[in-house]
C-alpha cells in the first residue's frame, strides 16, 4: 500500500489542517486499500446472501401457489410457537411478505456477520499484526482507520441493499426497499458494535467473538419473544435488533419509523467508537488482557490449543444443544404445518429422503445442523492460520515442538469437537422430541464424515495457501451451506447437489443405512488432512 511520504513539506501541510481534518487524513487511501483487500470476500458474502433471498419468491410460489394455500400457512404459523421461534411471525400472505418472513432474519444475520468481520479485520486485526503502526507513522489521522473500516462495511451493505431492492421490486417497490434497508441497516448496526468492541478489547479474536455473542443473544431474544406472541409485539423481540428487522414488516404495511430506530442505534454506537478510539494509544485497549501466571502451566502443544479454543467449543456446544431442543420441539408439528401441500412435502423429502414425513423432517433438520457444524470445523482449523500469521506460532515451534504436534493439538479439537457438538445436538433433539433417541443420534453421527471433509479441505488450504486459506475455506463452507439450504427448494439436479459431501450421506432415520459413502468420505477427509500436513511441513512459516 502506498502512503503519503513523511517529508517535511508533507508534515507541515498535515500540521496546518483543521483538527477534524487531521483526525481523518488518509481515509480515502485506506478505504481503497481495504476494498482492494476485500475484493473477493465482499462479493462472495453479498452474492450468497442475495441468492438466498432472491431465490425464495419462486420457491414459495411453487410451494404455496394459491392465495388460499398462503392464507392457510399464515393460520398454521399463528398456532406453532416453535416455528415462530425459528423464523418469526408472518405479517401477510403475499409472496413478498412470506419471503420477508422466511429469510428476513437470516439475511440480516448474514449481513451482520459480514459487517463485523470487515470492521474487525481493518481495525483491531491491523493493530494486532503491527501493520497499523507502520501506517500511522505517515500522515494518517487517528480516526482514519476506523472510518475506512466502517465505510468499507457501508459499501458492502449498500451493494447488498441494491441487489435486494432490485431483485424484490417485482413483489412491491415499497416492500423491497424496506426489506433491503432493514437488512443493510442491521449490518451497519453490528458493524458499529464491532467498532466499539474493537476499542475495548486487545485481540481481534475476542472482538469478533464478543460481537458474534451479541448477535447470538439478539437471535435468542427474538426467538423467545416470537414464540410467546404472534405479532412480534413481545418486549423481548423489541430488545433484539433482529426483532427490529421483522417488525419493519416489509410487504405488509411497512413501519418506516423502525428504520429510524436502527439508524439511531448505529449512529450512537459509531459515536461511542469514535470517542473511544481518540482516547487510547495504538495497540492498547480499555479492557487489557490479564497477564498470565509467572510460571507456565501448559506442558504440551495440545494443552495450549485447548486453552485457546475452549471458549469457542463451549459456545458452539451451548448453541447446538439449544438448536437440538428447538428442532426437536418442532418435529411433532411438522405434519400439521405441511398439511396437504404436496410441494412442501416433496421439498422435505428431498432434504430428508423418501420416507415418512416425520422421519424426513428429522433427517432434514439434522442435516441442517450438520451444515452448520461445517462452519465450526472451518473456524477451528483456521485457528492454525491465525496463530501462524500473528506470529504466536513461531515461539512455540522454536521449542521442542514439531509442526505436526503443534497442528495436531488444534486438529484434534476441530475434528473431535465436531463430533461432540453434533452429539449434543442429537441429545437435545431426542430429549425434546421424546421418540427414537437411537435413530436421532445415528442421524447426527452420519453427518460427521461430510463435516470432516470440509475440515480436511480447510487443512489442505492452510498447508498449501496460508495467505488465501481464510477466504477460500470460508468460501467452500458457504457454498456447501448454500447448496444444502437452497438446492432442495430449487429442485437442483442431483449432480449439482452431489458437489457437496453432504449430498452423499444416507438420509437416516427412515432410509436404509449405507456404509460405503461414509467410508469413502472418511478416507477423503484423511487424505486431505495428510496432504495439508505434508504441505505445512515443507513450506516456510507465514509471518
The answer to whether 360 and 265 are in contact (CB under 8 A) is: no
- Global confidence as pTM: 0.78
pLDDT for res 509: 75
How far is the first Cα of the chain from the last one, in angstroms, to the nearest whole number? 17
pLDDT per residue, tens digit, the chain (543 aa), is 444 445 555 545 545 556 666 677 778 888 998 899 888 889 988 988 898 888 888 878 877 778 888 887 787 777 766 667 777 888 888 888 888 888 888 889 889 989 998 998 888 888 877 777 777 777 777 788 889 999 999 999 999 999 999 999 989 999 999 999 999 999 999 999 999 998 888 777 778 878 888 888 888 788 888 877 878 888 888 999 999 998 999 998 899 999 999 999 999 999 999 898 878 766 666 776 666 666 667 778 888 888 888 888 888 888 888 888 877 877 766 555 555 555 555 555 555 455 566 777 777 788 888 888 998 999 899 888 888 877 788 888 888 888 889 999 999 999 999 999 999 999 998 888 877 788 888 889 999 999 999 999 999 999 998 878 877 888 888 888 877 776 666 666 777 777 889 888 887 776 677 888 899 999 999 999 999 999 998 888 876
Domain boundaries, the chain: 18-288, 300-543
* Chain segment 250-289, per-residue pLDDT in tens: 998 899 999 999 999 999 999 999 898 878 766 666 776 6
pLDDT for res 344: 56
Q: How remote is the C-alpha of 542 from its chain's centroid?
A: 26
* Helix/strand/coil (H/E/C) assignment for every residue in 5-44: CCCHHHHHHHHCCCHHHHHHCCHHHHHHHHHHHCCCHHHH
Cell of 236: 423481548
* Chain segment 151-204, per-residue pLDDT in tens: 999 999 999 999 999 999 989 999 999 999 999 999 999 999 999 998 888 777
Q: Name the CA dihedral angle for 130, 134, 139, 141, rounded to a multiple of 10 degrees.
A: 0
Could you tell me the CA-to-CA distances from 353 to 361, 363, 518 in Å, in that order? 9, 7, 16
pLDDT for res 3: 45
pLDDT for res 2: 43
> How far is residue 78's CA from residue 382's CA, in Å, rounded to a whole number?
42
Contacts of 378 (CB under 8 A, 6+ apart): 454, 455, 458, 473, 474, 476, 477
Amino acid at each position: 500500500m502506498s502512503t503519503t511520504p513523511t517529508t517535511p513539506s508533507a508534515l507541515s501541510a498535515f500540521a496546518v489542517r483543521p483538527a477534524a481534518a487531521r483526525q481523518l487524513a488518509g481515509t480515502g487511501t485506506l478505504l481503497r486499500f481495504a476494498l482492494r483487500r476485500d475484493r473477493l470476500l465482499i462479493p462472495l458474502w453479498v452474492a450468497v446472501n442475495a441468492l438466498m433471498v432472491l431465490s425464495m419468491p419462486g420457491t414459495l410460489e411453487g410451494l404455496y401457489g394459491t392465495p388460499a394455500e398462503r392464507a392457510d400457512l399464515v393460520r398454521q404459523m399463528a398456532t406453532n410457537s416453535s416455528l415462530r421461534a425459528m423464523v418469526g411471525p408472518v405479517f401477510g400472505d403475499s409472496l413478498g411478505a412470506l419471503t420477508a418472513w422466511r429469510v428476513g432474519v437470516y439475511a440480516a444475520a448474514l449481513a451482520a456477520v459480514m459487517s463485523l468481520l470487515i470492521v474487525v479485520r481493518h481495525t483491531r486485526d491491523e493493530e494486532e499484526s503491527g501493520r497499523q503502526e507502520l501506517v500511522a507513522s505517515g500522515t494518517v489521522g487517528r480516526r482514519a482507520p476506523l472510518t475506512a473500516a466502517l465505510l468499507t462495511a457501508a459499501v458492502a451493505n449498500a451493494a447488498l441493499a441494491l441487489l435486494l431492492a432490485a431483485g424484490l421490486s417485482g413483489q412491491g417497490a415499497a416492500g423491497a426497499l424496506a426489506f433491503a434497508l432493514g437488512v443493510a441497516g442491521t449490518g451497519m448496526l453490528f458493524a458499529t458494535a464491532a467498532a466499539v468492541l474493537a476499542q475495548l478489547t486487545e485481540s481481534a479474536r475476542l472482538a469478533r467473538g464478543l460481537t458474534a455473542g451479541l448477535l447470538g443473544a439478539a437471535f435468542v431474544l427474538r426467538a423467545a419473544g416470537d414464540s410467546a406472541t404472534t405479532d412480534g409485539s413481545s418486549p423481548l423481540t423489541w430488545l433484539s435488533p433482529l426483532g427490529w428487522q421483522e417488525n419493519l414488516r416489509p410487504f405488509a404495511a411497512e413501519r418506516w419509523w423502525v428504520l429510524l430506530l436502527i439508524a439511531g442505534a448505529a449512529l450512537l454506537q459509531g459515536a461511542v467508537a469514535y470517542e473511544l478510539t481518540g482516547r487510547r494509544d495504538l495497540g492498547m485497549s480499555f479492557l487489557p488482557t490479564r497477564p498470565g501466571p509467572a510460571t507456565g502451566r501448559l506442558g504440551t502443544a495440545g494443552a495450549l490449543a485447548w486453552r485457546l479454543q475452549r471458549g469457542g467449543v463451549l459456545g458452539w456446544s451451548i448453541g447446538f444443544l439449544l438448536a437440538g431442543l428447538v428442532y426437536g420441539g418442532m418435529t411433532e408439528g411438522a405434519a400439521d404445518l405441511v398439511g396437504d401441500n404436496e410441494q412442501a412435502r416433496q421439498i422435505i423429502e428431498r432434504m430428508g429422503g423418501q420416507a415418512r414425513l416425520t422421519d424426513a423432517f428429522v433427517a432434514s433438520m439434522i442435516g441442517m445442523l450438520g451444515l452448520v457444524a461445517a462452519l465450526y470445523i472451518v473456524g477451528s482449523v483456521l485457528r492454525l492460520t491465525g496463530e501462524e500469521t500473528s506470529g504466536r506460532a513461531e515461539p512455540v515451534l522454536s521449542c521442542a515442538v514439531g509442526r505436526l504436534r503443534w497442528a495436531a493439538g488444534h486438529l484434534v479439537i476441530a475434528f473431535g469437537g465436531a463430533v461432540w457438538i453434533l452429539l449434543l445436538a442429537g441429545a437435545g433433539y431426542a430429549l425434546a422430541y421424546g421418540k427414537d433417541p437411537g435413530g436421532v443420534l445415528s442421524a447426527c453421527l452420519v453427518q460427521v464424515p461430510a463435516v470432516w471433509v470440509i475440515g480436511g479441505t480447510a487443512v489442505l488450504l492452510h498447508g498449501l495457501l496460508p495467505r488465501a486459506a481464510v477466504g477460500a475455506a470460508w468460501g467452500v463452507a458457504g457454498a456447501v451451506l448454500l447448496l444444502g439450504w437452497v438446492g432442495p427448494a430449487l429442485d437442483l439436479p442431483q449432480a449439482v447437489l452431489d458437489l457437496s459431501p453432504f449430498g452423499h450421506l444416507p438420509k437416516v432415520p427412515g432410509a436404509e443405512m449405507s456404509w460405503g459413502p461414509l467410508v469413502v468420505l472418511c478416507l477423503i477427509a484423511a487424505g486431505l488432512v495428510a496432504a495439508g500436513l505434508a504441505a505445512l511441513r515443507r513450506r516456510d512459516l507465514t509471518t
